[in-house]
Amino acid sequence: MLRWGWSLLDDKRSRTISLESQQHKLIEHLRQHGIYDERVLQVMDAVPRWRFVPSEQLRAAADDRALPIAAGQTISQPFIVALMTQALRLTGHDHVLEIGTGSGYQAAILARLSRDVVSIERIPELSLTASQVLRQLGITNVDCLIGDGSVGCPERAPFDRIVVTAGAPKVPPQLCEQLTIGGRLVIPVGTVEPISLQVITRTVDGLITEDLSPCSFVPLIGSAGWPEEVPE
């Protein structure tokens, strides 16, 4: 029994080392494809993406592609996670709102680069699972809430940064109103695929919008997003 126990432990260690090695290669891939913020790259190297994917997806955890998770949702492509995080220009002192907790992976990245994160998810199963994984990783500055994230979180506003991890038909005005002056909102917007990843900065004179990249996301469901039945 003792030898069998050691064998299982060795297998687990070996698998972890292999996953870490694959993730290191992924980070180099991101660097070569235009991710230049070394803080973002270092954090993405430190956060084990494989902890946020279903067991049947472990072999693909370090692939630069979106993967299916529970409830018909996805964990975003690492390049898109890196691009969105880089676009936020986090300072380490930010009060951040994330719309769409999903697997919790993006929240884990944000948590390492900001003061605190409020993350809203409409699907209770996903929120609870993500919260568990975050706690297991020792990440304590993420508050996972269940609700309609399309309208933001006015009771915890204003936010220095807001990131939306689902595609909206248009930018919800509630989110812009919940930004501090100088705050940044990163959100996928559009009604025809591919949609556009936009960066919106709130200034004293109004909003400045920049198109960052074409992208593809699951729809943002909610009163300020898509209805439950998204049109084809």
Q: Which residue has the higher pLDDT, 51 or 229?
A: 51
For 184, counting Cβ atoms within 10 Å of its Cβ (0-12 exposed, 13-18 middle, 19+ buried), the class is buried
> How is the chain split into domains, by residue range?
66-215
Q: Name 128's Cβ contacts closer than 8 Å, sequence gap at least 6.
A: 144
Whether the per-residue pLDDT at 79 is higher than 50: the answer is yes
Structure tokens at 167: 């595609």
Residues 210/190, Cβ–Cβ less than 8 Å: no
Collapsed DSSP state (helix, strand, coil) of residue 44: helix
pLDDT in tens, 91-123: 999 999 999 999 999 999 999 999 999 999 999
Cα separation, 61 vs 48, in Å, equals 9
- Of 3.30.470.20, 3.90.1150.10, 3.40.50.300, 3.40.50.150, the CATH number of 66-215 is 3.40.50.150
pLDDT for position 38:
97
HSE at residue 110, side-chain half, CA atoms within 13 A, is: 32
Q: Which residues are catalytic?
A: 76
Residue 75 has a pLDDT of: 96
pLDDT at 2 over 70: no
Beta bridge partners of 161: 96, 184
> In terms of Cα–Cα distance, which of 168, 187, 176, 175 is closest to 226?
168
Residue 16: predicted pLDDT: 76
pTM of the entire predicted model: 0.92
How does pLDDT run across 172-208, given as a tens digit for each residue?
999 999 999 999 999 999 999 999 999 999 999 999 9
